[in-house]
Every structure is written in structure tokens, then in C-alpha cells.
Amino acid sequence: MLSAELRERAHEIIGRYPGARSALLPLLHLVQVQDGHVSDEGIAECAQLLGLSKAEVAGVATFYTMLKREPMGRHLVSVCTNFSCKVRGGQEVFDRLSEHLGVGHDGTTGGGELTLEHAECLGNCEGAPVVTIDYYNYECTDPDRAVELVDGLMRGEAPPPPTRGYVPTGIRDAEYRLAGLGPRDPEAMGVAITHARASDGAVPPPASGPGAPRATLVPSLGDEDGPTGDEGGS
Amino acid sequence: MAEPLKVISKRWDVPDGHTLDGYLRTGGWVAGRAALDMDPDAILQMIKDSGLRGRGGAGFPMGVKWGFIPRDSDKPTYLVINADEGEPGTFKDREMMERDPHMLLESMVIGAWALKSNRGFIFIRGEYLWPGVRLEEAIAEAYANGYLGKDILGSGYDFDVTLHYAAGAYICGEETALLDALEGRRGQPRLRPPFPAVAGLYACPTALNNVETVCNLGFIVEHGVDWYRSMGTEKSSGPKLFSVSGEVVRPGNYEWPLGTTARQILEESAGGMLPGRRLKFWAPGGSSTPLLTADHVDTPMDFESISAAGSLLGTTAMCMFSDKTSVVDACLNWTRFYEHESCGKCTPCREGTFWMAQILERILDGRGRSADLDILEQICDQVLGRSFCALGDGATSPIFGALKYFRDEFEHLIEHGRLPDDIEGHAGPVGDNSGRLRPAASGRPA
Ligand SMILES: Cc1cc2nc3c(=O)[nH]c(=O)nc-3n(C[C@H](O)[C@H](O)[C@H](O)COP(=O)(O)O)c2cc1C
Ligand code: SF4
């Protein structure tokens, strides 16, 4: 059952839409705030709030990837393994995390610290490979750094700042946002980070290797005799 | 030669460009104010004349689409923004909403005024929490300062916006599936007609557009049709964001006029392919657009030219992959995506994507059979054009392209049970974030 406070929020959400049923996805996010997944009680409550049958609500709840059938841990760690991330090592990141944590896709660690999942394209391919914690992005990661990240979560520490977003405070807080309710605890939001523009004070690009700017146009497209490799950084 | 632009991306280097202050200081709401003084029909005519085409993938002329919306309906008209951005390789709308959320809000007001709509929705994919947060903050600021809500800027015109987070389903980007999702149903496509323009959200007239499409409106209103058409080509006008990803030096969003060659964007903006890697195959507009090869890299990135080259412009998400990468692996990766995202409504797509994945998996595993390529092609034939929506068609795109240009790689796998030796595997992470600094854009400022 939703708490009295969340129930009040639920009515507030329903009031925003010309048709009450439009509130169903937000309400299912709200159920995840309370239960960490879409529980049977949550389904019944949404049905009751919107005048739908439980089957109708369950049909919707089972359609969407972000609505979970099993309780999530305190944090949700998603690793993009779609191809633009995969060619940058996204699959290795997921495999390492899975091995390190001893859980597979959609698995939750024994103490309920976190749930691991591999995700489809998260729309952040310029920062491949991408890991998100509670849907805030950590870009340009690698297996070692990802392990460091989850080790911190396993110890119950607050994660370091993401490259895009606020410091994640738990999947339930994220679900509160996703229900359309804004920050659950405005005091605890931390500093917003969005990287990767000169104006954001990002560090200058390295002089060579990946990420280095090219002084001239280097046609590295297919000509065997075109400049490649070592000249890339000049 | 084309030059890079700073139109849609004009505020991306402004540190506070996402706040109302930063927005107003850099020319924000000049177009919105002007539009609210204009006759709605005049705005619609400008949109038509501008030649603006949809940026969400299909490239449908926006003016024509909005022309289908009845002007005398006694039902409300809705403006729905498609911010579902799930097409693999596409990340332009995300950056627009993160860095310049007020541009979307102002553009929505302009569009809604032209349509005489008083209610808008932004349907954003749930994974986009950070751009969503930026929009939430912008919406709150806009309401507090009279840019949204009642009597906008003293014009007497009211417009409300609701940000609606979805819950993770690529198919919800398809416009009619989006409407079902927004009505609280499973996001499955609807039979058309009726088209959303006539019977969309709650069966009311609905304008449904991509984030980037709508964000062109302010520029058209403020700077005029001639200025707008000075960018791009006759049939593909205007500025465009290109999301470049994969094995390139600087993956990122880059703004160029439509019709710029893929080579120029790749080399000048993205820094070319990674050292030691040569371009082998690429998708010009996300994974749902047929693969092209290095031979096509001089093709202008506009709707006609890319179609003539045998692919589709799609979302202009250029996914670039090298000779060290297996195209069969790419096909399997993307096919699994379509299998996972197929909504299950129609048989060709639901069953076809499953079998396509099975066959690709065994080929890549070294268990392929000689008949497999024919079977794969047959299945794709049965899915393409026979699916209920374009997701099924898109699922066949990587495979058709790969079989057309790289059949030998499939055959090698089937014959030898392993990939050719020159395929080494992944390139490693982008490096650090600084790899994505934008080159100093000499672009024409808006
Ligand atoms: C499977 C599928 C997914 C789509 N995803 C998106 C999307 O995420 N964003 C988008 O704007 N359009 C998407 N589209 C295209 C929409 O159906 C629609 O054409 C578009 O939103 C119209 O806006 P536009 O005319 O401004 O491009 C998708 C289409 C299909 C078939
Ligand atoms: S083509 Fe696929 S996604 Fe589209 S309606 Fe059919 S099953 Fe659903």
C-alpha cells in the first residue's frame, strides 16, 4: 500500500492529466518508490485509483523495461551494451561487474545493495562505454573503474559525482522524479555536473591518442596509404 | 564546402545557457515574443515555406503534417513532443534538452500558438533522467516568470506543458505507440488512419513532433524563410545535429547544414577514425537505417542523397565502425535489441526478430550452416514491408546491408567457424571526457 503521503501525491499526479488513465505510468513509478518494484499490491492500488482492472494495469506494468517485477536494490546499475558502447568495451564492463558481484542481468546483490542490468542504447554514445547509477550517467568508463564504482556502492558509500546529473541517492529517489514529483529530498541533491564542454571547465584534450584534436584533416577512412595511427595525435 | 553551424546548438557552450537568465541573455524569447504578435496562419505558412522536415526519423514535411490538423475542431488540439530518443546511436535530443531546455519550451509555445493549442506534453524516455531534470527546472522557471501558463507575456494566450516520463520501451518512440503509452496503455502502434493530426491523443487533433524539429520554429520565425533555406539543400533545408559515435576519435553531436558530406562531418568534427582503424561500415541514421560502407562516405547527408545511396537519413546518427570490428557482431547486437523491443503486436516482427537473432548467434558462434544466409535473407524479406510498423522494417536494415556488402565475412564464419583474423575486437573507452570538446566552431551564429 502507498503511504498516506504518496497517496496524496498520487491524486496530485492524476489531476494533471485530461484523462486520468494517463497517470498510470507515473503511478507505477510511484509504486516503485514505495516498494522498489511493481508489487501486486501496487498494481491493485493503481487499478483502484484509476478505475481499471488489475489485469489491465498488470498488462501495462509488464510491458515496460523500467518497471521491475522483482525488488531492486538500493541502487540500479545499468551498463549499456548496445553496439556503439560495445565497440568501446561496454560488454567487458558488464561482464566484469557481473563476475565481480556474482549476479547476472537483473540480479540483485545479497544485501540488497544494488541491482545490475545491461541496458539497450542509453543515448549517451559520445561517452561510451556508459554506466548509469539510478539513471545518472558515468561516461567513458572501463571495467576497473566500474568495479571501483560498485565497490563503493557495496560499502554503502555515496557514489562519486556522475559526468551528467546529480550524485545518485538511490533508485527510489530516481523513481520519485520519474513519477513527475521532482526531488524527493531537495536538500540532498548535490551539485549538478554536465561535462565535456570547454565552458564547463573540462580538462584540455590529451596531446595524443584517443581524444586528441587533429590539427589537419586526416583522411583515415580507407586508404591503405592514408595517414593513420601515430600521426593521429599531431 | 559546408561550414559547421551554431544554430540549434548555439547555447551549448554557454555555461548557464540552461537557465532562464542565460537563455534570455543569449537571445531567448525574441522569437517567441514576435510569434505571439503574429497571425497563427502566417506562422504555419512560414513553416511550410521553410521546407522544414521532421527530424525524428521519417523526414516528413512539417508544414504539410501540421496542415492536416483541423482548424475548426470543437475538441482541444494537443502538441506532443517526442523525446523518446531510443534509436541506437542517437543522442541529439538528449543534449538539446540538457543544455538548452528553454529552447524547447519557447519553440513549443510558438508551435502551439500557431495551432491554437493550449496544452502540450513532452514525452521523454525514462532513462533520460538528467535531461528530464533540466526540463523540470526550466519549466518551473518559465512558469514563475510568465513564459508558460496563463496569459503568456501579456498576450492573453494560455499554454500549459506537462513533462511525462516513460518507462523504457523503444517502440514508444513510434508516434501512435507513444500516444497509447501517454494514455496509460501498453505502447503498441495504432492502425492508421486516422492519423494523429486528426485523432491523436484522447482522439483529439494532435501535433506530434521530434524535439529537434520543433526547435527549428523559433529560428524560422525570427530570421525568416530565406535565411533558413540558405542552409541545407533544396529538398532538405536547414541546420541539423549529427550524432557521431563508434570508433571515431571524438564522438559527439555536431551541427552542420543538411547536405554536408559524411566525410566532412567525420573528419572535421569527429576527428576521423581512431588511429590504426579504417572505416568499414556505418549507419547514417541509427541502427534502423541500412548499413553503408567506406565507399559511401562522400555522400551528402540529406534525405535524397542517402536514399539514393540505398539507405535512409533516419535520425542522422552516424554510427561508424572499423575494419577491426565484425559486422556480423553488429547485426547480432542490434537484432537482439529489436527482438527485445518488438512490441509483439504483429507476427512477422515478433517471430522474425527472434529467428534472425537465433541464426546470427549460431553463425557468430561458429555453428553456422551453409543454408543459413538464405534463410536469414528469406526471413528478412518476410519482415520487411509486412510488419505493422517501421520497427520491423528497421530490424532488417543492418542485416540487408551487411549481407549486401560483407557477405564474405558471413561465409568465412560459416566455413571456418571463426572470424577473419584482422577483426580484433573493441577499441576501448573514449578516453576521458575531454575527448569530446567541440572544435571551435567558425559557424554562422544565429
Ligand atoms: C520504432 C520507432 C521508433 C521511433 N522513435 C522515435 C523517437 O524516439 N523520437 C522521435 O522523434 N521519433 C521517433 N520515431 C518516429 C516517429 O514515429 C515520428 O515519425 C516522429 O516523432 C514525428 O516527428 P517529426 O515529424 O518531427 O520527425 C520512431 C519511429 C519508429 C517506427
Ligand atoms: S512491427 Fe514489431 S514493433 Fe511494430 S507493431 Fe509489429 S511487433 Fe510491434
Contact check, Cβ <8 Å, A87/B247? yes
**How confident is the prediction for chain B on average, in pLDDT?**
94
End-to-end Cα spacing for chain B: 19
Ligand 1 mean position, distance from CA B54 (Å): 9
* Contact between A120 and B87 (Cβ < 8 Å): no
Burial class (CB in 10 A: 0-12, 13-18, 19+), A209: middle
Pairwise CA distance, residues B78 & A18, whole Å:
11
Ligand 1 mean position, distance from CA A219 (Å): 33
Amino acid at A232: G
Q: Is B385 on the interface with A (CB under 8 A)?
A: no
Tell me which residue in B99, B126, B249 faces A210 most closely, judged by beta carbons: B249
* Contact between B319 and B286 (Cβ < 8 Å): yes
pLDDT of residue B37: 97
Chain A stretch 163-202, residues whose beta carbon is closer than 8 A to a beta carbon of chain B? 163-166, 174, 177-180, 182, 192, 194-200, 202
d(CA A201, nearest CA chain B) in Å: 9
Q: Is B284 on the interface with A (CB under 8 A)?
A: no
Nearest-Cα residue of chain A relative to residue B242: A126
Pairwise CA distance, residues A81 & B308, whole Å:
32
Q: What is the ipTM of this complex?
A: 0.94
Best probe residue, ligand 1, of B52, B53, B87 (max atoms within 8 Å of C-beta): B87
Radius of gyration over every alpha carbon of chain A, rounded to an integer in angstroms: 21
User: Which helix (DSSP H) or strand (DSSP E) does residue B410 occupy?
Assistant: helix B407-416
Q: Which of A25, A27, A173 to mutate to test the interface with B (most CBs of B within 10 A)?
A: A25
Pairwise CA distance, residues B433 & B411, whole Å:
39
d(CA A74, nearest CA chain B) in Å: 17
Quick: pLDDT tens for B345-398: 999 999 999 999 999 999 999 999 999 999 999 999 999 999 999 999 999 999
Pairwise CA distance, residues B366 & B348, whole Å:
27
The edge-to-edge listing of strands for the beta sheet with A193-194 is: A107-108, A114-119, A75-80, A131-133, A136-138, A164-165, A193-194
User: Regarding the domain with residue range A72-201, which homologous superfamily does it belong to in the CATH classification?
Assistant: Glutaredoxin (3.40.30.10)
Q: Which atom of ligand 1 is nearest to the CA of B175?
A: 17
Tell me which residue in B164, B184, B433 faces A140 most closely, judged by beta carbons: B433
Contact check, Cβ <8 Å, B76/A18? yes
d(CA B209, nearest CA chain A) in Å: 18
Q: Is B388 in the pocket of ligand 2 (CB under 6 A)?
A: yes
Q: Is A96 on the interface with B (CB under 8 A)?
A: no
Pairing of strands B292-293, B206-210: unpaired
Chain B stretch 63-122, residues whose beta carbon is closer than 8 A to a beta carbon of chain A? 76, 85-91, 93-94, 98-99, 119
Calculate mean pLDDT across residues A7-24: 97
Is the pLDDT confidence value at B21 over 90? yes
pLDDT of residue A1: 79
Pairwise CA distance, residues B96 & B436, whole Å:
16
Contact check, Cβ <8 Å, B430/A126? yes
Chain B stretch 7-36, residues whose beta carbon is closer than 8 A to a beta carbon of chain A? 12-15
Q: Is B266 on the interface with A (CB under 8 A)?
A: yes
Residue B440: closest CA among A116, A210, A136, A197: A197
- CB A223: neighbour CB atoms within 10 A? 11
Contact check, Cβ <8 Å, B428/A136? no
Quick: pLDDT tens for A52-65: 999 999 999 999 99
Q: Is B123 helix (H, G, I), strand (E, B) or coil?
A: strand
Quick: pLDDT tens for B179-194: 999 999 999 999 999 9
Pairwise CA distance, residues A6 & A23, whole Å:
14
pLDDT of residue B43: 98
> Considering only A184-188, B14-18, B54-58, which range has the smallest mean pLDDT?
A184-188
* Contact between A151 and A9 (Cβ < 8 Å): no
pLDDT of residue B105: 98
Quick: pLDDT tens for B233-279: 999 999 999 999 999 999 999 999 999 999 999 999 999 999 999 99
**Residues in CB range of B415: below 8 A, 6 or more apart:** none
Pairwise CA distance, residues B33 & B31, whole Å:
5
Calculate mean pLDDT across residues B56-66: 97
**Cβ-Cβ contacts under 8 Å, A231 against chain B:** 275
Q: Which fold has domain A4-61?
A: Arc Repressor Mutant, subunit A (1.10.10)
Tell me which residue in B89, B319, B438 faces A197 most closely, judged by beta carbons: B438
Best probe residue, ligand 1, of B92, B104, B115, B175 (max atoms within 8 Å of C-beta): B175
Q: Is B289 in the pocket of ligand 1 (CB under 6 A)?
A: no
Model confidence at A188, in pLDDT bands (50, 70, 90)? low
Task: Estimate to the nearest angstrom the gap between the alpha carbon of B268 and the chain centroid.
Answer: 22
Task: Output b/e per residue, B160-173; b: 16+ Cβ within 10 A.
Answer: ebbbbbbbbbbbbb
CA-nearest residue for atom 6, ligand 2, is B346
Tell me which residue in A123, A137, A229 faces B90 most closely, judged by beta carbons: A123
Q: Long-range CB contacts (< 8 A, 24+ apart) of B415-418? A: B416/B366, B417/B366, B417/B367, B417/B368, B418/B366
Best probe residue, ligand 2, of B391, B393, B397 (max atoms within 8 Å of C-beta): B391
Q: Is B343 in the pocket of ligand 2 (CB under 6 A)?
A: yes
Chain A stretch 53-92, residues whose beta carbon is closer than 8 A to a beta carbon of chain B? 59-60, 63-67, 78, 81-84, 86-89, 91-92
Q: Which spans in chain A are helix H?
A: 4-14, 24-35, 40-50, 54-61, 83-86, 90-101, 143-154, 171-176
pLDDT of residue A194: 53
Chain A stretch 106-165, residues whose beta carbon is closer than 8 A to a beta carbon of chain B? 119-129, 132, 134-137, 139-142, 163-165
Q: Which atom of ligand 1 is nearest to the CA of B55?
A: 27
- Cis bond upstream, residue B348 (ω within 30): no
Ordered by start, the domain boundaries in chain A are: 4-61, 72-201
Q: Which spans in B75-216 are helix H?
A: 92-99, 101-115, 129-144, 175-182, 196-199, 211-214
- CB A167: neighbour CB atoms within 10 A? 18
Handedness of CA B166, B172, B178, B181 (dihedral sign): negative
Q: Is B325 on the interface with A (CB under 8 A)?
A: yes
Q: Is B247 in the pocket of ligand 1 (CB under 6 A)?
A: no
User: Which helix (DSSP H) or strand (DSSP E) does residue B322 occupy?
Assistant: strand B317-322
Q: Which residue has the higher pLDDT, A206 or A195?
A: A195
User: Which helix (DSSP H) or strand (DSSP E) does residue B207 occupy?
Assistant: strand B206-210
Phi, psi of A61 (to 5 degrees): -60, -35
Model confidence at B430, in pLDDT bands (50, 70, 90)? low
The edge-to-edge listing of strands for the beta sheet with B279-283 is: B252-257, B239-246, B317-322, B279-283, B292-293
Model confidence at A192, in pLDDT bands (50, 70, 90)? low
Model confidence at A219, in pLDDT bands (50, 70, 90)? very low
Q: Is B396 in the pocket of ligand 2 (CB under 6 A)?
A: no
Q: Which residue has the higher pLDDT, B35 or B434?
A: B35
pLDDT of residue B439: 32
Ligand 2 mean position, distance from CA A116 (Å): 28
Calculate mean pLDDT across residues B95-122: 97
Instruction: Quote the DSSP letter at residue A125.
Output: G
Provide the percentage of residues in chain A whose pLDDT is more than 70. Answer: 80
* Contact between A124 and A86 (Cβ < 8 Å): no
Residue A79: closest CA among A151, A144, A128: A128
pLDDT of residue B281: 98
Pairwise CA distance, residues B267 & B251, whole Å:
11
Phi, psi of B119 (to 5 degrees): -145, 130
Ligand 2 mean position, distance from CA B243 (Å): 26
pLDDT of residue B120: 98
Contact check, Cβ <8 Å, B250/A50? no
d(CA B46, nearest CA chain A) in Å: 31
The edge-to-edge listing of strands for the beta sheet with B78-83 is: B160-165, B119-124, B78-83, B206-210
Pairwise CA distance, residues B387 & B390, whole Å:
7
Quick: pLDDT tens for B407-428: 999 999 999 999 998 887 777 6
Handedness of CA A29, B167, B103, B201 (dihedral sign): negative
**Cβ-Cβ contacts under 8 Å, A203 against chain B:** 432-434
